[in-house]
Chain A
Amino acid sequence: MIEQFLQQVEKKAFRIAWMAVKNEQDALDLVQNTMMKLVEKYADRSESELKPLFYTILQNQIKNWYRKESMTSKWFFWQKTAYDKEEENGSCTELIEGVTQVSPEELVTSQQVSAQLVAQLQALPVKQQQCFLLRSWEGLSVKETAVIMDCSEGTVKTHMSRASQKLNLIIQLEEAFDV
């Protein structure tokens, strides 16, 4: 049962981790560690319990990854860490500027719109992005997402709304230019 579950979830988990850390090898390591911890501690759990447990472990792995990154930034203070870049990219003005920089010519095909959407999703602040991915893409409930993200249900709803607003800017462009 657990093997089937891991097979089902591994690709999405990899994309979710990759979106957060923006590094393929690190994302693979995080997913492998998550799988190992799940198998080690919760292999006997039911299928409905496995998904929230898996993503709770993955989110903890992502948080630890950022903690390690911030430790590195203290030693190599002249280099900007992924977390700093994330914060910068996460600001609302930066994002809107990024969206307006997309010309209609760039949004020629639906595939290119999809690529822009994924790029914008990746540029969101980590918590907003992860909430959106867990709630919308993985189909977890608000309550489950709140537990996984270790925040209130209200915070999840706020993250969802803000992420949707920013992503909607791309969709509006798509509709405006009838891509």
Chain B
Amino acid sequence: MSEQIEKQVQQRVNRALDDELLDLDPLTQAKLQVARLNALEQTKKTAWWQRINLSQGVLATSFSLFMVFILVKPFGGEKTMPGISEAQLLAAMNPVLSEDVEMLEQLEFVAWLEQESMLEQGDDS
């Protein structure tokens, strides 16, 4: 079958199909219209997060993470934690001292008492 004949056949069949399409009954046309409107309506019903595409999602997540980072760990803030004494910090760093922080505080207290008594003795003499 030559290409020319094939084209003629296609043109003739296309004409037949186009003619048939013009005669499509109004009820079917209306049903098709309803189908189209239903398809278009569903986009409005979809949840907001379903309408977000990948790039928008990535952008929103990055922004959220950035904000969390800023709020939780502000730039240029105090390096040491507030409410922790130097003795506690030293104790935490030294495994021996960390065993008994209270004892260290008592030693400091004893040293202070000795210092006080020495001062009193100096005053008396």
Contacts and interface: CB of A to CB of B under 8 A. Distances in A.
B29 interface: yes
B39 A14 contact: no
Interface stretch (B9-17, B60-68, B89-97, B99-107): B9-17
B contact patch SS:
helix
Nearest to B14: A137
Contacts of B20: 15, 114, 118
Contacts of B39: 6, 32, 35-36, 38-39
B40 interface: yes
Contact of A168 (B9, B32, B33): B9
B85 interface: no
Interface in A100-138: 111, 113-115, 117-118, 121, 132-133, 136-137
Given A35-B36, A136-B10, A11 B16 contact: no
B32 A31 contact: yes
Chain B: interface size category? 20 to 34
Contacts of A36: 38-39, 42
Contact of A12 (B9, B21, B28, B46): B21
B35 interface: yes
Contact of A28 (B17, B31, B43, B53): B31
A79 to B, nearest CB: 27
Contacts of A6: 36, 39-40
Nearest to A43: B43
A36 B32 CA distance: 12
A53 interface: no
A136 B16 CA distance: 12
Contacts of B13: 117, 121, 132, 136-137, 167
Interface of A: 2-3, 6-7, 10-12, 14-15, 24, 28, 31-32, 35-36, 38-40, 43-44, 111, 113-115, 117-118, 121, 132-133, 136-137, 160-161, 164-165, 167-168, 171
Task: Across the A-B interface, give the 10 residue pairs with the lowest CB-CB distance, nearest first.
Answer: A114-B16, A35-B39, A32-B35, A136-B10, A117-B16, A36-B39, A164-B9, A164-B6, A10-B32, A39-B39
